[in-house]
Amino acid sequence: MTGTTLDDYTDRYAQRVRGMTASEIRALFAVTSRPEVVSLAGGAPFVSALPLDAVGEMLGQLGGPLHGATTLQYSGGQGDLALRERICEVMSLSGIDASNGASPDDVVVTVGGQQALDLISRVFLDPGDVVLAEGPSYVGALGVFRAAQADVVHVPMDDDGMIPAALAEALATVARAGKRAKFLYTVPAYHNPGGVTLSESRRDEILAIAEQSGLLVVEDDPYGLLGFDGEPLPALRSRRRDGVLYVGTFSKTFAPGLRVGWVLAPHAVREKLVIASEAQILCPSMFAQTAIATYFTTMPWREQIKTFREVYRERRDALLSALTDMMPAGTRWTRPEGGFYVWLTLPEGLHSKEMLPRAIAARVAYVPGTGFYADGSGGSHLRLSYCFPPPERIHEGVRRLAAVIGEEMKMRAVFGTAAPGTSPGVSWTPAGTFNSAASNHPAPGLE
């Protein structure tokens, strides 16, 4: 025996389990649930803004004698047709409609957007395959790709989203290594965690690069309807019918507790996704599907989305104002136009993961930037979420965080050494732009 372990099953696990780790966010749950801690960490939607009396009455009726025999039964593996029709209605707000081939027939209902990403990975990824993803990227997606034993190559961003030239460079780098990227994973609208949005001009450029290289695009769009000014930019899927898989969710525009999302996929891919879903969960919850279909049929959901926008805009403004007033010199951050998140860069030499225990001791929580890079870099950054706490709590949380950062800076000044594990290759300019110390487009996978 070469060592000891508390796990008697270590030698029996599948190989894919070795790469599985708890997400940075889940590890914080026990702490952030404490009332004395101001959590700027998790992205929990503010469901209290919903008309909960009406929603509760609707849910009670759906489980009662009039509807219960249907809603409490199995559904089909693809999802209920009534819900898939409502999904097409929702997608039309992002420019995805019948004119560009959107049809209920090509929608697959999933258990949240997370299962949608897992199904796509099951259908397309073999161990050792390459996935391109923005750097930083959504931690839940990175967990799915890690479980599929894929290699993630990050593509850098700036204030206008993913840099097209960097995408082309990443594709070339992967090709030189004798590999081919299976797909590009992107959150183009109000990025998680970056808070930036892919610009209008870059959307067409990114799609052109993908089409020229035969690269499949997985567009994850949880926040696209939650912009604070103007109408949503047309989704990537609205511009290119073939080669784009569109992932959506009702977690941000209605309720995450119902766990309903979807994939809009080319017809042949749709069938593979349904088969994979049936093998995994048999079918999505009929009760949850009917609840969402009923809500989007009988209630003023467009007005409710406007309410969410106003709530989140107020909280975004509170966070940005507090950061401006209280953060020490050398701290930089993005200025989101929608969604839930601000991406903050610490003063030189500080490390967000190493600083976290001191922040928790000061009763404020955030997510370290290391969780948003496949290689664990990103220690000079952290993610702040403004969607759940009220403005006064946001202000207090920033006050506590600023004090922690100030103390860290004093310690660094005294000891004169940078915190280990920082990521010097990428930083934000004072305006909030991603920038590389080496070049405009750092080598993919090195951030």
pLDDT (tens place) for every residue of the chain, 447 residues total: 455 567 888 888 887 787 677 666 666 767 777 889 999 998 999 999 999 999 999 999 999 999 999 999 999 999 999 999 999 999 999 999 999 999 999 999 999 999 999 999 999 999 999 999 999 999 999 999 999 999 999 999 999 999 999 999 999 999 999 999 999 999 999 999 999 999 999 999 999 999 999 999 999 999 999 999 988 889 999 999 899 999 999 999 999 999 999 999 999 999 999 999 999 999 999 999 999 999 999 999 999 999 999 999 999 999 999 999 999 999 999 999 999 999 999 999 999 999 999 999 999 999 999 999 999 999 999 999 999 999 999 999 999 999 999 999 998 888 875 444 333 333 322 333 333 322 233 322 222
The two tokens of residue 435 are 């920038």
What is the DSSP pairing of strand 381-385 with strand 367-368? antiparallel
Q: What are phi and psi of 153, to 5 degrees?
A: -110, 120
The two tokens of residue 129 are 């395959």
The continuous run of DSSP H or E covering 248 comes out as strand 244-249
Rounded Cα–Cα distance for residues 211 and 333 (Å): 33
Q: Are 138 and 192 in contact (CB under 8 A)?
A: yes
Q: Are 255 and 301 in contact (CB under 8 A)?
A: no
227 DSSP assignment: B
The two tokens of residue 412 are 């660094």
Count CB atoms within 10 A of the CB of residue 316: 24
Nearest CA-CA partner of 353 in 335, 378, 332: 378
Residue owning tokens 């027939």: 105
Bridge partners for 264 per DSSP: 107, 246
